[in-house]
Amino acid sequence: MSSNLQDQLKELLDNKVITEDVALSISAYYKQNEDNSSSKLFLVFGIIGAILASLGIILVFAHNWDEMSRLSKCIVSFLPLLVGQLFCGYALFAKNDSPAWKESSASFLFFAVGATISLVAQTYNIAGDFAGFMFTWMLLCLPLLYLMKSNIVSLLYIVGITVYGINTNYFYYTKPHDYSYWLLLLGVLPHYYGLIKAEATNFRAIHNWFIPISIAICLGSISGKQSNSELLYFSYVFLFGCFYFIGMTRVYASEKILANGFSIAGKLGGLFMLYMGGFKFLWESLEKDYFDFVSTLTIATAGLFLLAIALLYHIRKLKTLALNEILQFSFLIIGLCYVISKGSVIVPVFICNIYLLLIGIREIQKGNEESSIARLNFGVLIIAILIFCRFFDTEMSFIVRGILFILVGVGFFGLNYYLLKNRKQDEK
């Protein structure tokens, strides 16, 4: 506890403003906060140090690699793995109550496993590609996640399987469909469920972002080389709808705004899909497209749609989302637009643009009601992006386009001024 605080407490005691018991309680409170802050700082430095040490060892080995004999290379290859296991064993049995020791040693071992695999493969010229290397690495580190109960290994694992999914399904197409990513993703879910059931932490907030981003990146892996890959647009529409509704459930609704990655990813993703739907080319490509209803992509899209419907029904029962939050119905609107596009491609474009305008107006209205400058500006931004998209998509004169942007700028300034003025009056 700082000397300044101690002096203030002594002054309050001398003037009989507080009792001795109150002073002791205040001292204990601040000492506990200082201890927690120090332990968190030690945890961060420990993790960073372990990662840097791991990378440093790899670079040292790489620099002297060609000068070593095969036996030396083999010994050196397993040395980081042995050291990492010793650190983890010490952390597990002697420092089990220290998150910094467990996280840093687990991080070191995570990278040591990858280094050992690559060094042994290079020493004995074992054939393989990068995707196979990532799969083996992540599979071997999955038990480490649960043995050490390491949150940083969990995050590194999610990043690793995402890189694997990208390489397997987007770069090489070694198989028409590769579902290994989804099986690997299932492996981390029990750990994530444990984080959800426990108290809110920064690690849980980061997981709330990593998991939806990873799923969104790798969702395209289910399309393969199919001719009806345009259906993937609707897969993402329904996926972002599911994210948004998951973020509105009771488990996530209590999270801070920035910690609710599902809600933000679903909201921004849903808006992006609506902006895409506001362009004519999308519906022209879908106008005469007839999907293969026995494909994996079609089944997955239908499953995501049904899941979005079920989640919408669930949050309507929970009443965690107001009925006038119209963004929640965006996936139904886009589904309706697909049906309409079979007869006309102009009507879906019109519907998506009007719907985006209504969402922007609703956000401005909510921002005004809640005296939230951030939400008000978000609504103005939605409308500004909509006008910007139409700037390149319609044959308006530059004068009309310029007037529209001037109106948006004036409206942006006027609304913020009005809200700030009302806030000052309320404070008085």
More confident site: 184 or 295: 184
pLDDT tens digits for 303-323? 999 999 999 888 888 776 776
- pLDDT tens digits for 157-192? 999 999 998 888 776 654 556 788 999 999 999 999
How distant, in Å, are the alpha carbons of 90, 106, 207 from that of 101? 9, 8, 21
Average pLDDT of the segment spanning 8-17: 62
Check the CA dihedral 145-149-151-152 and report its sign.
negative
List, for residues 313-355, the tens digit of each pLDDT value. Answer: 888 887 767 766 788 888 889 888 888 887 788 888 888 888 9
Assess whether pLDDT exceeds 60 at residue 399: yes
Question: What pLDDT digit, counting tens, does each position of 73-101 carry?
Answer: 777 778 888 888 888 898 888 888 778 78
Count CB neighbours of 93 within 10 A.
Answer: 8
